[in-house]
Amino acid sequence: MTATLRVGTRGSVLARTQTGQVAEALAAVGRFTIELVHVRTDGDRLTGSLATLGGTGVFVTALREAVLDCRCDVAVHSLKDLPTGPALGLTLGAVPAREDPRDVLCARDGLTLATLPAGSRVGTGSPRRAAQLRAARPDLEVVDIRGNVDTRLGRVASGARDASRADDGTGRDLDGVVLARAGLARLGRLDAVTDTLDPATMLSAAGQGALAIECRTADDVPGLSAALAALDDRPTHLAVIAERALLARLEAGCAAPVGTLGVLDGDTLTLDAVVIRTDGTSSLRLTARAALPGRAPNGTDESARQAAADLGSTLADRLLAAGAGEMMSS
């Protein structure tokens, strides 16, 4: 007899799409019957910017409560939305292989970041992206936006936009938007991309492109632990441990102007990080490397996990010593 696995998801198209992909994988390796449980979060309900909402936890708290209340057995999150602190009674059961973590520009008429005319209006809801946009192109107007992928893409004009008008009456008031490539890939919308942004210009958020499968610490679903272990990807899991440890030491949430990306090559984990003033006028960027012990095929090796976390904390300490704290608060 197959066990029923209740999988919690937010209600957005992107959330349901990526949760469906995870659910199919869990069903394949664990032979579960899947039941999707839709949960509405504060991030779905509130309309303010990420910065004014406080950022931390707004997209995950209700899902976590649903798991703890046994309304679902696991929850699927965009890993970048997870607060870095521990959640009592919950554990990060698996981190599948991440999508390409880079950010992309979706602009009118095939324009790139380099070819956007001065004064172009570019939308993003991320303080990190906004700060890096201002650093790369101080002549652009960065516009704070909210909404799902279709809503954001729908605001991009076609043809030259009259700079004297913010909105031409169609709602297409932007020359471009910056989005995560991973979300567009999962939705089959990569055709909208006009420029894939180099991490040297636009470093991604901690955990960007990765998904998190969270479950109760006291696992009570037969076969779930083995299924999660089969889905867990060692390079992704160890990289995001380092990225999240850096954020935690900086005391920076997902709304902070901080970018970081870890890459595991063999046994060597390289972690890159940047802290930017919100106005884009200055930044700190550092890189660190560490050899990770262990040979587990997934991210469960405790010695490797600790080494990855230490790498993130150490790099954060170097950033703080160089003035990152003042830069983030400015």
> Per the domain annotation, does 202 fall within a domain?
no
Same domain, 228 and 244: no
Question: What pLDDT digit, counting tens, does each position of 141-177 carry?
Answer: 999 998 899 999 999 987 665 554 455 455 689 999 9
> Per the domain annotation, does 204 fall within a domain?
no
Same domain, 39 and 185: no
Of 141, 172, 196, the one marking the end of a domain is: 196
Task: Give CA torsion, residues 221, 223, 224, 227, to 10 deg.
Answer: -170
CB 277 within 8 A of CB 249: no
CB 214 within 8 A of CB 74: yes
Q: Which of 81, 173, 195, 272 is catalytic?
A: 81
Q: What is the pLDDT of residue 170?
A: 56
> Per the domain annotation, does 158 fall within a domain?
yes
Distance CA 185, CA 193 (A): 10
How many Cβ atoms are within 10 Å of 315's Cβ, its own excluded? 26
Same domain, 245 and 322: yes
Q: Tens-digit pLDDT profile for the chain (330 aa)?
A: 578 999 999 989 999 999 999 999 999 998 899 999 999 866 555 555 555 545 556 679 999 999 999 999 999 999 999 999 889 999 999 999 999 999 999 999 999 999 999 999 999 999 999 999 999 999 999 999 988 999 999 999 876 655 544 554 556 899 999 999 999 999 999 999 999 999 999 999 999 999 999 999 987 788 999 999 999 999 999 999 999 999 999 998 767 899 999 999 999 999 999 999 999 999 999 999 999 998 777 777 899 999 999 999 999 999 999 999 999 887
- Assess whether 191 carries a catalytic annotation: no
CB 158 within 8 A of CB 173: no
- Domain span at 115: 103-196
How many Cβ atoms are within 10 Å of 192's Cβ, its own excluded? 17
> Per the domain annotation, does 201 fall within a domain?
no
> Per the domain annotation, does 205 fall within a domain?
no
Helices 13-30 & 224-231 angle (0-180, nearest 10)? 110
Q: What is the pLDDT of residue 47?
A: 52
Task: Give CA torsion, residues 114, 117, 121, 125, to 10 deg.
Answer: 0
CB 162 within 8 A of CB 142: no
Q: What is the pLDDT of residue 294?
A: 80
CB 49 within 8 A of CB 184: no
Same domain, 189 and 265: no
Q: What is the pLDDT of residue 329?
A: 84
Q: Are strands 4-9 and 33-38 parallel, antiparallel or unpaired?
A: parallel
Domain count, the chain: 3
CA angle, residues 26, 28, 34, in degrees to nearest 5 = 55
Residue 31: what residue type?
R
Same domain, 130 and 269: no
Q: Which residues pair with 214 in a beta bridge?
A: 75, 92
Same domain, 35 and 162: no
Same domain, 257 and 330: yes
Same domain, 330 and 187: no
Of 171, 196, 221, the one marking the end of a domain is: 196
Chain centroid to CA 129: 12
Question: What pLDDT digit, counting tens, does each position of 198-257 carry?
Answer: 999 999 999 999 999 999 998 778 899 999 999 999 999 999 999 999 999 999 876 789
Alpha helices, DSSP H, located in the chain = 13-30, 42-45, 50-53, 61-68, 127-136, 149-153, 181-187, 224-231, 234-250, 302-321, 324-329
Same domain, 3 and 92: yes
CB 22 within 8 A of CB 28: no
How many Cβ atoms are within 10 Å of 40's Cβ, its own excluded? 11
CB 201 within 8 A of CB 140: no
CB 234 within 8 A of CB 297: yes
Radius of gyration of the chain (CA): 20
Q: Which single residue is written with the structure tokens 């802290």?
A: 275
- Compute CA distances 251 → 115, 141, 148, 244, 254, whole Å: 36, 29, 28, 10, 10
Q: What is the pLDDT of residue 164?
A: 46
> Per the domain annotation, does 17 fall within a domain?
yes
> Per the domain annotation, does 23 fall within a domain?
yes
> Per the domain annotation, does 307 fall within a domain?
yes
Which CATH number goes with the domain that contains 303?
3.30.160.40
Q: What is the pLDDT of residue 305?
A: 95
Same domain, 131 and 91: no
CB 31 within 8 A of CB 99: no
Same domain, 226 and 244: no
Same domain, 171 and 216: no
Q: What is the pLDDT of residue 51?
A: 52
Which CATH number goes with the domain that contains 82?
3.40.190.10
pTM, 2 dp: 0.90
